[in-house]
Structure 1
Amino acid sequence: MQTASGARLDKGRLALLLVFLGVGWFFWDSPFLRPVKLLVVMMHESGHALATLIVGGSVDKITLRADESGACFSLLPPGVFRQIIVFSAGYLGSAIMGAVLLLATFRFRLRRLVLGAACVWLAVMGVLYARDTFTLAFCLGTSVVLGLAAKFLPEGVVEVINLFLAAFTALYALFDFRSDLWDSRVRGMSDAALLAEQTWVPAIVWAVLWTLLGMSLLGWAAYKSLHADGGASQMRMPPLSSARRS
């Protein structure tokens, strides 16, 4: 399949994405995937933290729990606009990270850089904002694992890890929209409900807005990731199906 711009659907990338999405879906409740789920929860809370700093606030702490819940405790300057930005940055932040991982791994195949960046990010968040043993242990422990993987694993294995993390992060972001924002029992305790208390805009409206934005972003990233540029651009990457493995 070729678009008007000359981009061609890369069947190798599509097959890999479908395989990893299927693995994540089928083994969703497996305890072996819990560390990856906590990693995405950390992306959600990091979105709140980054947005807080951008609007001039301060972050007190970030907390993760073994049941895959999390919280970011921060102080914000007065202003409804700042609150909208910070509360929106959780669900949209995880969607943005999913989109970035899709592009970085499927489109640009950055491999070790992706794991290295994740290693540094977790270490920084753990040292600066973790105030409990579990959160600190998860951040630093996962940081070490990702750093060692980026340093010592073969290129082919690093690529497989990156591809799975990209696919699973996107899947988890979509599941977050479904379970947290569209289940009325959960939505009442979500960021949408908290923002509704501050803005008088109903939680369902924020749920609709965040879902549309998040799914549009992930859809765009998936499209760009699965299409190889048909032109002569130097940014064109070889299809995964014919990539050399070292």
Structure 2
Amino acid sequence: MTITKSISSSNSTYFWLYLIAAAILMQIPVVNLPFVWAATFFHELSHAIAAILTGGEVSRIQLFINGAGLCFSLGGIAVVIAFSGYFGAPIFGFLLYKLSKVTSNTYSKYLSISMLAIISLVLILWSRDLLTILILIVLGFSFFLSLKYLNTKWLKYFFKLFGMSIMLNGISSVVTLLNVGRQGDAYSLAQMTWIPALVWVLIWCATNIAILYSAKKYT
């Protein structure tokens, strides 16, 4: 019983350390760009996956230097597609955070290779403008460097920090929707469902906080 409590307390401490470290990194200009771009990448990828799963097709994904992004799709279920961005990105962050613990040393490298494969696939299938291509190359290069120059132990720490930053970005970016007015996914959902944008923001906040809290036991 004492050992269990000690491990739980240690996990909680490390969780908060990762959270604080990720929060600080997200505030440092230039240094924060790969983390911001990764969060946007998974946000738009979530839209794309939702479009495909609901019978639509994706024409292109566009990323911007300031961390904004767009996913252009045809067909599919519009409500599901619009909802999926702020819901899906933190799930990707959670998976990166979780898999960094449950995988063996060898599979940590496979996780990095998988990230490179996903980025490459989006680059080939849905990238149409130079800026998006450059951002994806930078993201891909970040994972390539992590694979090439970090030993396996540090690679796990890298994924934990990366996953944490994506989950935190999911919460902070949802909060900013309160100030964007008549634009964004929340406004689109309000137009389609007659449910106020604030309700969608609160739903995303609740789910994203729940996802972040669930990551605590995987530290």
Identity %: 22
Unaligned segments of structure 1, at least 5 residues: 227-246
- 1:203 is aligned to 197
- 2:94 is aligned to 99
- 1:114 is aligned to 111
- 2:162 is aligned to 165
What's the CA shift for 1:148? Answer: 4.2
- 1:234 is aligned to none
Q: Which amino acid is 1:176 matched to?
A: S
What's the CA shift for 1:178? Answer: 1.9
- 2:139 is aligned to 142
Of stretches 211-220 and 114-123 in structure 1, the one that deviates more from structure 2 is 211-220
What's the CA shift for 1:156? Answer: 2.2
Query: Which whole-Å CA distance do the structure 2 matches of 1:27 and 1:218 have between them?
Result: 17
Is the partner of 1:63 in helix, strand or coil?
strand
Is the partner of 1:67 in helix, strand or coil?
coil
* CA-atom RMSD in angstroms: 2.4
Which whole-Å deviations, capped at 9, do the CAs of 1:209-231 have from their partners, x for residues lacking one? Answer: 22222222332233x314xxxxx
Which whole-Å deviations, capped at 9, do the CAs of 1:47-68 have from their partners, x for residues lacking one? Answer: 0000000011111111111111
- 2:38 is aligned to 39
Is the partner of 1:32 in helix, strand or coil?
coil
- 2:18 is aligned to 20
Task: Rate the CA distance shift 1:126–1:41 in 2: closer, same or farther, 3 A.
Answer: same
- Give TM-score, length-normalised by structure 2: 0.87
Q: Is the 8 A contact 2:62 2:71 kept in 1?
A: yes
- 2:130 is aligned to 133
Which whole-Å deviations, capped at 9, do the CAs of 1:182-218 have from their partners, x for residues lacking one? Answer: x2x2253220101111222211121122222222233
Task: Rate the CA distance shift 1:12–1:119 in 2: closer, same or farther, 3 A.
Answer: farther
Task: Rate the CA distance shift 1:13–1:107 in 2: closer, same or farther, 3 A.
Answer: farther
- Give TM-score, length-normalised by structure 1: 0.79
What's the CA shift for 1:11? Answer: 4.2
How many residues were matched structurally? Answer: 216
Which protein is bigger by CA-based radius of gyration?
1
Query: Which whole-Å CA distance do the structure 2 matches of 1:101 and 1:187 have between them?
Result: 32
Query: Which whole-Å CA distance do the structure 2 matches of 1:206 and 1:145 have between them?
Result: 33
Q: Which amino acid is 1:171 matched to?
A: L
